[in-house]
Amino acid sequence: MKTLTTVVAACVAVFGMAGTTAATASGEAYGSSVLISNPTYDDITYQIHWGDYSWKRFTIPARTTNWHFVQAADGQERRVSIKFDYIQNDGEVTFKEYNMAAKWTAASDRDGRPYAFKKIALEMIDLFDD
């Protein structure tokens, strides 16, 4: 596994499909998605930012996965960023921020490019391309 800092250069690739629109004739919605997993025993709070949208705050309970999706009406992949307090339980907020690659998918699939939080020290976490 690699931390996101070692794969940021790879994250600039576009994962859209040429000629694919945001909805099929059946009305299926398509867009960009990521899966964020928390295999730790602690809840983790983080923020997600899609393209021009504002930051949204989420808390992921211990041992669960959150699915994030944004529909793309123009059929274009959306950039996604994440930030989180990587030093836990110190009474301060020390953000670490990454740009992530997403997966182009149908909304009904509830699939996405996988990422996972991992403990890297007693009170420190980081996000890994899973």
CB 80 within 8 A of CB 68: yes
Residue 4's H or E segment, with its range, is helix 4-7
Query: Is the residue at 16 inside a domain?
Result: no
Query: Is the residue at 25 inside a domain?
Result: no
For residues 62-93, one letter each, b for 16 or more C-beta atoms within 10 angstroms of the residue's C-beta and e for the rest, the string is eeebbebbbebeebebbbbebbbbbebeeeee
Domain span at residue 63 reads 2-11+31-129
With a CB cutoff of 8 Å and minimum separation 6, the contacts of 97 are 81, 82, 83
Query: Is the residue at 72 inside a domain?
Result: yes
d(CA 82, CA 23): 26
Query: Is the residue at 23 inside a domain?
Result: no
Return the amino acid letter for 4.
L
Query: Is the residue at 113 inside a domain?
Result: yes
Query: Is the residue at 21 inside a domain?
Result: no
Per residue in 14-39, pLDDT (tens digit) is: 333 323 344 555 678 999 999 999 99
Query: Is the residue at 116 inside a domain?
Result: yes
Provide the CATH number for the domain around residue 101.
Answer: 2.60.40.2890
Query: Is the residue at 86 inside a domain?
Result: yes
Q: What DSSP designation does 29 have? A: B
Structure tokens at 50: 């899609």
Per residue in 99-122, pLDDT (tens digit) is: 999 999 999 999 999 999 999 999
Q: Is the pLDDT of residue 47 over 50?
A: yes
pTM value is 0.78
- Counting the structural domains of the chain, the total is 1
pLDDT at 14: 30
Q: What DSSP designation does 5 have? A: H
